[in-house]
């Protein structure tokens, strides 16, 4: 057991035994994570409603979104894979950003709502399965592969998607999770 000392902004503390970073005080203004989360939410909405990429070949035209990709997999009989793609590329990132938005708004109130701890815990689980950066690389590889056969153009959705890939880790870098945990009041053992 180790006691983490009060840290200056930008400082971090590492475990004495295994060297893992135990706590890190983020720098930057207090409103930065909320601003980033709002931007990420807008970018995600745009990325999922506009086509990610468009294909032109001999007068034919095709375009797709993330949901369209998962839908096509379902149509082709790969239902399990389709659900997995939908979860990692759509449900988990959207859930993650919406939970973060709610948490960051709740955090501004003097008294934290009772569900804050539960939600913060769920954010951690969602983060593991939110794989936007992997999806991004996957789309790029697919684009280059198809580019050998037809003309492919990245759509507007692609730029919004790129922005959300960068914004999501930025929220976590500037969000002081340890501080929020410290502020949480909990029922003492006897009350349970």
Q: Which of 72, 79, 51 is nearest to 63 (CA)?
A: 51
Structure token digits, residue 110:
């003097």
The answer to whether residue 64 forms part of the interface with other proteins (CB under 8 A) is: yes
In the set 55, 160, 167, 171, which binds other proteins (CB under 8 A)? 55
11 or 35: whose CB is closer to other proteins? 11
Tell which positions 85-104 bind other proteins, by CB under 8 A.
Answer: 85, 88-89
The answer to whether residue 14 forms part of the interface with other proteins (CB under 8 A) is: yes
In the set 21, 29, 110, 111, which binds other proteins (CB under 8 A)? 21
Instruction: Mark the segment that binds other proteins (CB under 8 A) among 33-41, 66-74, 101-109, 153-161.
Output: 66-74
Pattern of binders to other proteins over 134-153, x per CB under 8 A? Answer: xx-xxx-xxxxxx-xxx-x-
* Number of Cβ atoms within 10 Å of the Cβ of 159: 14
Q: Shortest gap between Cβ of 185 and other proteins (angstroms)?
A: 9
Q: Shortest gap between Cβ of 179 and other proteins (angstroms)?
A: 12
Tell which positions 170-189 bind other proteins, by CB under 8 A.
Answer: 181, 184, 186-189
130 or 171: whose CB is closer to other proteins? 130
In the set 28, 128, 173, 179, which binds other proteins (CB under 8 A)? 128
- What span, in angstroms and rounded, lies between the C-alpha atoms of 64 and 164? 18
Angle at which helices 156-174 and 32-49 pack, to 10 degrees?
A: 160
139, exposed or middle or buried, with CB in 10 Å at 0-12, 13-18, 19+?
A: buried
- What span, in angstroms and rounded, lies between the C-alpha atoms of 93 and 81? 17
Q: Shortest gap between Cβ of 129 and other proteins (angstroms)?
A: 8
Q: Shortest gap between Cβ of 133 and other proteins (angstroms)?
A: 8
């Amino acid at each position: 057991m180790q006691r983490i000392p009060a840290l200056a902004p930008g400082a971090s503390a590492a475990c004495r035994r295994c060297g893992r970073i135990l706590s890190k005080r983020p720098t930057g203004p207090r409103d930065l994570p909320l601003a980033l989360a709002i931007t990420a939410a807008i970018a995600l909405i745009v990325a999922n409603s506009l086509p990610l990429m468009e294909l032109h070949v001999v007068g034919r035209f095709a375009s797709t979104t993330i949901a369209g990709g998962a839908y096509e997999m379902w149509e082709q009989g790969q239902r399990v894979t389709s659900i997995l793609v939908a979860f990692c590329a759509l449900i988990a990132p959207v859930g993650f950003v919406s939970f973060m938005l709610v948490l960051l708004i709740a955090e501004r109130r003097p008294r934290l709502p009772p569900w804050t701890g539960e939600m913060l815990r769920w954010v951690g689980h969602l983060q593991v399965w939110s794989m936007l950066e992997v999806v991004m690389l996957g789309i790029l590889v697919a684009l280059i592969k198809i580019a050998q056969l037809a003309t492919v153009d990245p759509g507007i959705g692609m730029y919004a998607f790129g922005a959300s890939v960068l914004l999501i880790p930025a929220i976590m870098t500037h969000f002081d999770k340890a501080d929020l945990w410290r502020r949480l009041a909990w029922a003492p053992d006897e009350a349970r």
